[in-house]
A and B are shown apart, each in its own frame.
Chain A
Amino acid sequence: DIQMTQSPSFVSASVGDSVTITCRASQDISWWLAWYQQKPGRAPKLLIYAATSLQSGVPSRFSGSGSGTDFTLTISSLQPEDFATYYCQQTSSFPNNFGRGTKLEMK
């Protein structure tokens, strides 16, 4: 099975800051990586698929990069609605494991 290591677990930032979250796969997954945002009491929302492709309707301040085993999600110019928990997920092969999540908190 492919394991996903996500870091950091928590990050504290202010409105207007830029934040980067990283995700490492235990083996090469090419571009088969997705990023999700989840707010309390809500279902997750797809932000990025295929490592770098922005899902329709997602603001352009969200961007993804990487391939192979190392990936990043960058949120530039944080907005109040961006404070949430973020997860990566590999979609290369079953089981499509998730990372443990990164909680983005307001400083």
Chain B
Amino acid sequence: EVQLVESGGGVVRPGGSLRLSCAASGFTFDDYGMSWVRQAPGKGLEWVSGINWNGSRTGYGDSVKGRFTISRDNARNSLYLQMNSLRAEDTAFYYCARVMGGWGQGTLVTVS
């Protein structure tokens, strides 16, 4: 069974930084591209960032480009999101998602 467990969320001041982690299990991690998707309370889904199977290709949404960095460690079956220069509008639940299905339960980031 695909399991994705996010961690690292919390409350941070504007301008601060956080690093989210996602621990993957139940599948061969380095067979899949991965992404981060966020959802502000009561709002729709927003794609934040994606990475291919070996980390050689990454992409970012316009609202986070230049501030967030996605990475992965296939040896540790882990996905990361380094978030810098955080703004109030970055407040959201952040989900780790596997290409072709499988989502974590999300971790809440509050910038205030």
Contact = CB atoms under 8 A, between A and B. Distances in A.
Q: For the side of the interface on B, what is the size category? A: 20 to 34
Given A94-B50, A94-B60, A95-B60, A49 B44 contact: no
A52 interface: no
Interface stretch (B12-20, B23-31, B76-84, B95-103): B95-103
Contact of A44 (B57, B59, B100, B103): B103
B95 A96 contact: no
Interface in A51-107: 55, 85, 87, 89, 91, 93-98, 100-101
Contacts of B37: 44, 98
B46 interface: yes
A97 B47 contact: yes
Does more than half of chain A's interface fall in helix, strand or loop, or is it mixed? loop
Interface of A: 1, 36, 38, 43-46, 49, 55, 85, 87, 89, 91, 93-98, 100-101
Q: Which 3 A-B pairs have the closest CB atoms?
A: A94-B59, A46-B101, A43-B103
Interface of B: 35, 37, 44-47, 50, 57-62, 95, 97, 99-106
